[in-house]
Amino acid sequence: MGNLVINEAFLQRVEALQTVLKNNIAGMFGGNHKSRTFGSSCEFTDYRNYQPGDDITKIDWNAYARFETLYLKLYHDERQLHTKIYIDVSQSMAYGNCKKGTMALEIAATLAYLSVTELDRVSVYTIRNSEVTEVISSISGRERYFAEINKLNDVEFGGDCFIAEGLLPTQVGYGDGLSVIISDFLTDNDYESAIDFLADKKRDLLCVQVLTSEEINPKVRGKNVFYDSENEGRSYRKNINKDIIRAYREAVQYVQDRLRNYCNARGAQYVLFRDNAPIDELFFEHFTQLGVMK
Amino acid sequence: MSFYFPLGLLGLLGIPVLILIYIIKSKYTEQTITSTYLWELSEKFLKKRKPISKLTGILTLILQILAVAVVSFMIAHPVFTVEAAATDYYFILDGSASMNMQQNGVTRFERAQDEINRIIDKSYGGSSYTLVLVNDTAGIAFEGVTDKKQAKANVRALHAGWTEGECSSAMRLAQTYFDDNPSATIYLVSDKSYETENMTFIDVCKGENNYAFTECDYAVAGSQVTGSGSVISYQSDATITVELGYTAELGGEVIAAGQVQVKTEAGVPSEFSVSAEIPRFASLRFYIASSDAMQEDNVVIRYDAAKTQARKVLLVSDLPDSVYIHNAIARAGMAEVEVMPTQSYDPAKVSGYGLCVFNGYTPATLPQNTAIWLIDAVDGSGEGSGVTFRDYEEPRDTEGPNSYYEVEYVEGNTAQEKKFLKNITGSRVVVRKYAQYGIPRKFTTVMRYDGNALISAGINENNDREVVFAFRIGDSNFGLLEDFVILVRNLMDYSFPSVIDETVYTCGDTMVVNVVPGCESIVVTAPSGKSTTLDTFGNDMCEVQLNETGSYSILVKLTGNRDMSLCSFACVPETESRAEGGGKLALLGNKGSEKKDGYYDDLLAFFIVIAVLLLADWGVYCYEQYQLR
C-alpha cells in the first residue's frame, strides 16, 4: 500500500485509553495487565494463612505482632499479554478508490501502539486467500513499534479471503490477550469457525467490520452490470431501482446483524466502521461505548 | 373526428424516434465493484413485484410517447362531432340607461355581458349567435355569428345607452327568429322583471339603491337664486344631500353655493329647496352628493335661458284685413309692428326689421337677412322667394257648400310640424279663394287643401326664413279664430328663432337646433366629447338625437366671425332611474327540440393532458434522481 501515515499526535491521545480484557488468565510475567492470580506486583490484594513452604519474606510481621498468627501478604499478579491483529487484505478491501484497506491498516497500527504502551506484545497478520502471514512479529516497546510498524506499508492487497481456513491452523495462544479481526466480512466464506476457534482459546476477540459509504448506502441507479473485484466471474446485472435498493439495504443490515449476533453469542465484540469516518470516532466513541476500551 | 391540420399528425413519427433513443440510451453500464456479495444477497430480500410495477421501468418512455402523441394531436387540432348538441342562440339584451347601475364597480350591463359570454362558452361549436340590443329602439348588434371568440368580442364591445328602453320593442324580431327556428334558444337579459314564454329570462338586477331628481327648477329674485324640486330614493329610506352650485360662465368652474339634507322614504319623492346669493350665473348645478348605484341621474344642470331678442316687424299692406295680422303679430308675437303702404315700400330703405310681412303685395325684390311672410303675395314677379305661382283656385258657387274650401292641418309628425301646430285647437277653417303655388321641397306645410299647401314655411333662395300664405286672411274665417292668433305666435317664434327652445331634455329626446339668421355653421358636442357639425344649408332647423346623458354644448358660428355658445342638459329618463317595468313577453308558437350536430374543437383539454404528462414525467425524474437516495 505504502500510504499508511502514523499520526503521532493521535497516538499520544490514544495512550490515554486502556484495553479492557476479560480472559486475562495467561501471559508472560512483567506485563501491565492485572491477572486474577496472585503474583509479585506492588499492589496489595489480600492476606492468607501461612503454609509451610511459603516464601517467608512475604509474612506480615506486624500482623503477627498483633494477632500472634502468621499471615502471608498477597499481591496482584500482572501479566504481559499478546495482542494479535488479523487484517483482511483481499482485493475487496482496496479496489479502486476504496479506502477500506488503508483504514484497516490504520486501525491495526493504532491498536498495536495501544498494546505496546500497555507493555503487551503485538503481532500483526494478514489474511489473503487461506494464508495467514505474520507481518509484525511479537514486538513490545515503543522503539520496536516504530521500527516495525512501517512494514504495514509493504502489505499488498489482492485475492480472496478465507478467514477460518487461514486462522484455524495457526497458533493463537490461550487466554493471553486480545485478537482483532479487521475485515469487510463481505463473503460467503466461513468466518464463524475462526470466531469460535478464538473464543475457545479464551482470547478476547474484537471484530471490526469496515465498509464504505457506497456499500452501506449505494447511490447507483439504472441499468448496471457489477463485476466482483475478487472474482471477475461473479457479476450482478440489474436495473437498479427503488425496490432493489430497499432489498440491498436489508441485506446490509442482515450482514451486520448476523456478525454482531454471532460475536455477542460468543463473548466477542463487534464494531462497524465507515471508511470515511475519522479514526478518532472508532477509538473514542465506538470502542469506549462498547467497553472494549476505557 | 376530423382535423383542421391533418399534417400535424406527422408528429407521431417522433414516437419511433423516441423508442429508438430509449433503446440506444438504455444500455447496461458495466463497472467493477469491491464485492457483489451484498447485491447478490439482496435478491433474497427482494419482494415479488406486482405486474404493473414492471411498467415503472419504462414509465418515463410511456409518458414521453403519450406527450408526443398529444402534442401531435394538438397541432393537428382535432374536431369532435357531437350529435344534436348545437343550436341557434338569440339574445335580447336590454341596453337601456338603468343597465348602467353598478354594484361593487360592476354594472348590470357588464353582468349581462358576462352571463351571455358564459352561455356562449358553454355552447358547442356549430351554434350561431345573434344579439338584439334594446336602447331607445331594438337593433341587431350582430347576427348569425358562428365563431365563439368573435361573438364574445362582439358582446364585449357593446355598451348600454342612456335612453329609455323597452324589451317589448324587440319582440317582433324575436318572433321572427322563433318562427324561422322554433328550436332556437332565446334569452332575454334585462334588469326589469319579465315573465317570458318560449324564451329564458336572465335577471341581472341586484336591487341596487338609486337616488335621483324627479323635479328641478329655479327662481331668481334679484341676486337671490332659489333652487327647488324633489328627490327620491327608490329602494330604501335615506337622507339625501342636495348641493347647489353654479358657474359664472359656460364651461367654467363649478362654485358651491349651498346644500340641504332631505329625508326621503323609499319610492316617495321628497321636496327640497335651497337658496343662495348668486350675483350672476351661466348654469346652475343641482347635485345629489350621496353615493348610489348610478351617478348620472344625480345631477341636473339648468342653463340660463337665452335672452329674447327684440322683435321688430314691417307690415307692407294696403288691404283692410291687415288689421288682423297687425294685432296678432303685435300681441301674440310680442313684436313692434310698423305698417307701410305698398307705395311707400322701397327695398333699399328697408333695414333693421327682423320680419317683413307682405300682405297682398308682391315686392319686385325680396329684402335679405330678414324673415319674410308672403300673404297672397306671390305672382311670379318676386325674386328669391323660391315659390312659383300657378293659378288661383276659386269656388264654383257663390253660396252653399261649394262656395268655399275647407282647409285641413297637417298631421304634425315631424318636430317642425309639431312646433307649428303647438297649442292649435283644430277649429274649422274655410277659404273662399286660394292660390296654387309650387313650393320648395324642403318647405314644411302647415295647412293644405287637396294637396295644395295653403300655409307653408321654409328657407327661401336668399337663405332667409319664409312663411307663405296661399290665401288672403280676408278671404277666410281664419282671422276670426283663436287658432289664427296661436298660429301667428308659432310662426313668429319660427321667424325670430332662438338657437334652442329648451335647455333641459331627457335622454332619447330630439333637440331642435334652429338655424338662426346669419348662421354659418352649428357644431354640437355631446358629453362624451363627440362633435357633430349640423347640416344647416337650406334648412331652417336641425334635429339632434340626445343619446347621452350630461351637457351638450352648441357652438353657432355667425357671419362676421361672431360666435354664440349655448348648452343644454340631457337627464336620465325617470323610468330608467326607477328601473321598474317589465311585464309578460311571449313568443307565439310551439317550442321545438331539433338541434344541429355540434362540434368540440377546444384544445384546453389537450393542454391540460400535456401539462399533466410533462408534470408526471418531471415527477418521475425527480423521484428517481433525488427521493430514492
Residue B196's H or E segment, with its range, is strand B193-197
Mean local confidence (pLDDT), A2-7? 64
The total number of residues shown for chain B amounts to: 629
Inform me whether the pLDDT recorded for A252 exceeds 70: yes
CA B574 to chain CA centroid, Å, is: 16
How many CB pairs below 8 Å do chains A and B form together? Answer: 107
Which has the higher per-residue pLDDT, B172 or B250?
B172
CA–CA gap between residue A5 and residue B229 (Å, rounded): 109
Predicted confidence (pLDDT) per residue in B332-385, tens digit = 888 899 999 988 888 887 778 889 999 998 888 888 888 999 999 888 655 788
Cβ distance A219 to B57 less than 8 Å, yes or no, reads: no
Cβ distance B32 to A187 less than 8 Å, yes or no, reads: no
Q: What's the gap in Å between the CA of A266 and the closest CA on chain B?
A: 25
Q: The domain containing residue B483 runs over which residues?
A: 312-495
Q: What's the gap in Å between the CA of B35 and the closest CA on chain A?
A: 5
Quick one: B18 and B55 in the same domain?
Answer: yes
A215 vs B32, B38, B56: nearest CB: B38
Q: Give B43's contacts in chain A (Cβ within 8 Å).
A: 247
CA–CA gap between residue A34 and residue A27 (Å, rounded): 11
Domain boundary among B286, B304, B322: B304
Predicted confidence (pLDDT) per residue in B250-292, tens digit = 778 899 999 999 999 988 999 999 999 988 888 899 999 888 8
Domain boundary among B443, B470, B495: B495
Q: What's the gap in Å between the CA of B611 and the closest CA on chain A?
A: 26
Which has the higher per-residue pLDDT, B626 or B20?
B20
Which pLDDT band, with edges at 50, 70 and 90, does A37 fall under? low
Quick one: B130 and B195 in the same domain?
Answer: yes
Q: Which residue from B minimizes the CA distance to A234?
A: B36
Q: Which three cell numbers stand for residue B472?
A: 288672403
Predicted confidence (pLDDT) per residue in B577-629, tens digit = 887 777 888 888 888 888 878 777 777 888 888 889 888 888 877 776 665 54
CATH number of the CATH domain containing B278: 2.60.40.10
Mean local confidence (pLDDT), A249-262? 93
Q: What's the gap in Å between the CA of A268 and the closest CA on chain B?
A: 24
CA–CA gap between residue B500 and residue B556 (Å, rounded): 11
Selected residue of B33, B620, B624 to mutate for chain A interface (largest A Cβ count, 10 A): B33
Quick one: B176 and B251 in the same domain?
Answer: no
Q: Which three cell numbers stand for residue B157?
A: 364591445
Cβ distance B44 to A251 less than 8 Å, yes or no, reads: yes
Quick one: B322 and B433 in the same domain?
Answer: yes
Biggest CA pair distance of chain B: 145
Residue B202's pLDDT is what?
93
Quick one: B32 and B17 in the same domain?
Answer: yes
Domain count, chain B: 5
Quick one: B490 and B508 in the same domain?
Answer: no
Assess A97–B contact: CB distance below 8 Å, yes or no: no
Residue B243's H or E segment, with its range, is strand B238-247
Inform me whether the pLDDT recorded for B156 exceeds 80: yes
Taking chain A, what is the end-to-end CA distance rounded to the nearest angstrom? 31
Please check whether residue A163 is in contact with residue A191, taking contact to mean a CB–CB distance below 8 angstroms.
Answer: yes
B628 vs A96, A188, A245: nearest CB: A245
CA–CA gap between residue A170 and residue A7 (Å, rounded): 32
Q: Give A232's contacts in chain B (Cβ within 8 Å).
A: 32
Cβ distance B32 to A229 less than 8 Å, yes or no, reads: yes
Query: Mean pLDDT score of chain A, rounded to an integer?
Result: 84
Domain extent listing, chain A: 28-79, 82-290
Cβ distance A255 to B46 less than 8 Å, yes or no, reads: no
Assess A213–B contact: CB distance below 8 Å, yes or no: no
Please check whether residue A87 is in contact with residue A104, taking contact to mean a CB–CB distance below 8 angstroms.
Answer: yes
B29 vs A184, A223, A232: nearest CB: A223
Nearest one of B392, B403, B477, B473 to B437, comparing CA atoms: B392
User: DSSP strand E in A50-130: where?
Assistant: 71-80, 82-88, 121-128
**Which amino acid is present at B238?**
A
Q: Give B40's contacts in chain A (Cβ within 8 Å).
A: 234, 236
Cβ distance A255 to B41 less than 8 Å, yes or no, reads: yes
Quick one: B119 and B195 in the same domain?
Answer: yes
What is the SS3 assignment for B269? coil
CATH number of the CATH domain containing B191: 3.40.50.410
To 5 degrees, how large is the angle CA B302–CA B308–CA B311? 165
Answer CATH for A82-290 from 3.10.620.30, 1.10.357.10, 3.40.50.460, 3.40.50.410: 3.40.50.410
The ipTM estimated for the assembled molecules is: 0.83
